[in-house]
Amino acid sequence: MKTLKPVAILLVCLILIGLIGWITFGEFPGLASRSAKNIHLGLDLAGGVSITYQAEDGVVPSEEEMKGALSVIQRRLDTKGYTEASAYLDGTNRIRVEIPGVEDASKAVEEIGRTAMLAFYGLNSIGTHTGEDILNMVATGEAELVVTGQYIKSASFQKGKLSSAGSVEPYVKVEFDEEGTRLFAEATQKYYDKQIAIMLDDSLCSEPLVKVVITDGVAVISGMKSDEEAQDLASDIIGGALPVQLQDIEHQSVGATLGQNALTTSILAGILGFAVIVLFMLIVYRVPGLAASISLFLYVSLELLIFNLLGWTLTLPGIAGFILSIGMAVDANVIIFARIREEIIQGHTIRLSIRNGFSKALSAILDGNITTLIAAIVLYLFGSGTIRGFAQTLGLGILLSMVSALFVTRFLLVNLMNIFPAKKGLYAVIHLPWNTKRKEA
């Protein structure tokens, strides 16, 4: 069996790098959603709504309560379709929510911060009660709390006929967990031929008359005026109740004009900076510079592709972390090539100089990258908001840059030696204008 020649291996590698670049920067069939232009943009780039919630005055919430409230709010963001939104703790009693692409701040505040506690009350008196009478019965204790929202497993929007003679209408299908199923079955048996009022916070959602004992753990909430009202109710129910009362202390709409300008400027600066780096590497380091340039292109493509695959949201600080990680990747290549140049000056062969250069540069590269990676981890663990976005991109970039410099660049350089002749002038500029004291050995 014949083995691939180094030139063929290099060609396959270059085709693979080009394919990854096409997926990242182009419109690859079937993978267009993974293109860099489809990366989620943060509030500072896409515009949207910023909301700050705080525990009610006089309430000192525990750390567990705040984390629980954060979890509920994040779940509500997901069920409301705000897939690009982020929520994070700000101090000991505040939660900040950022929702890109939303213009109505007041609506977002109402949807995300409400208590949303579902409760079922059995009405002891026989007859049909509506509206204010039921609210008074709940308030005065004439109604018995039989099941709460904590036992709900799911809530979904449905549309159809609730009876053979009825018309098509929107409703919410609620499914209880095992304990909730037992409690609801007991309630429907106890209040047979009476009403069970369904309350969401202080609002009356429905007051059905019990005509059958429900043992399968499924309840239906009807009476909604529109599909949207039923959908909102379903998402409010499944969102759960906040373990601590929160009040909106600040909310504002952020325009996207400044962010778009900043994004355009950042992209242009990144392209120009990358071009200058490639030019510098080719002039000063020749063939190794070519290997590094190809490796850097793969590095940039992979970081953007992984960023999109993980569903991370890109912010201006995130762009800063991305650019800084590119600088670290270039720095690693410069350290390696400086060592290779020193080996060449000492009279070693090109192949031996490359091997020794990578070996001698390894400790310096690992030291620099690991310390920066530790800083990124600390920022992510103890920071919040945009600081964590910066740490995310920086940390991912550091990991990819080490792989890029130590493995990809080396692989490319070793195989490029089979194309370019082993002449010293092709692998390093021996007499640099800023280092005239060094003489070629």
CATH code at position 104: 3.30.70.3400
Q: Which tokens hold the place of 338?
A: 């400086």
Residue 441 lies in a domain: no
Q: How many domains does the chain have?
A: 3
Residues 271 and 398 in one domain: yes
Residues 195 and 167 in one domain: yes
Q: How far apart are CA 240 and CA 324, in angstroms?
A: 41
Which residues are registered as beta bridge partners of 251? Answer: 51
Residues 100 and 173 in one domain: no
Residue 325 lies in a domain: yes
Residues 221 and 305 in one domain: no
325 Cβ contact list (under 8 Å, min separation 6): 303, 393, 394, 396, 397, 398, 400, 401
* Residue ending a domain, choose from 213, 230, 253: 253
Q: How far apart are CA 391 and CA 312, in angstroms?
A: 12
Residues 180 and 265 in one domain: no
Sort strands 169-176 and 94-100 into parallel, antiparallel or unpaired.
Answer: unpaired
Residue 263 lies in a domain: yes
* Residue ending a domain, choose from 197, 226, 253: 253
Name the residue among 185, 208, 183 with its Cα closest to residue 196: 208
CB 158 within 8 A of CB 171: yes
CB atoms near residue 276 (< 10 Å): 10
CB 325 within 8 A of CB 303: yes
- Name the one residue in this structure whose structure tokens are 């190809």: 294
Residue 267 lies in a domain: yes
Q: How far apart are CA 68 and CA 120, in angstroms?
A: 23
Q: How far apart are CA 336 and CA 124, in angstroms?
A: 82
Residues 18 and 63 in one domain: no
Q: How far apart are CA 143 and CA 122, in angstroms?
A: 5
Residue 436 lies in a domain: no
Residues 18 and 61 in one domain: no
Residues 230 and 275 in one domain: no
Look up the domain containing 97 and give its range: 48-114+246-253
**pLDDT tens sequence for the chain (441 residues):** 344 566 777 777 777 787 777 777 776 666 656 677 777 777 777 778 888 888 887 778 888 778 877 877 877 777 676 766 778 888 888 888 888 877 777 777 777 766 556 788 998 877 677 778 888 888 888 889 998 877 888 888 888 887 777 788 888 888 998 999 999 999 999 999 888 888 876 778 778 888 889 999 988 877 777 888 788 777 767 666 666 778 888 887 776 655 566 667 777 887 888 889 889 888 888 899 999 998 998 888 888 888 888 877 777 788 888 888 888 889 899 999 999 988 988 888 888 999 999 999 999 999 989 999 999 999 888 876 678 788 888 999 999 989 888 998 998 898 888 888 878 788 877 665 555 554 443
Residues 157 and 125 in one domain: yes
CB 119 within 8 A of CB 145: yes
**What are the backbone angles phi and psi of residue 139, rounded to the nearest 5°?**
-70, -35
Residues 218 and 329 in one domain: no
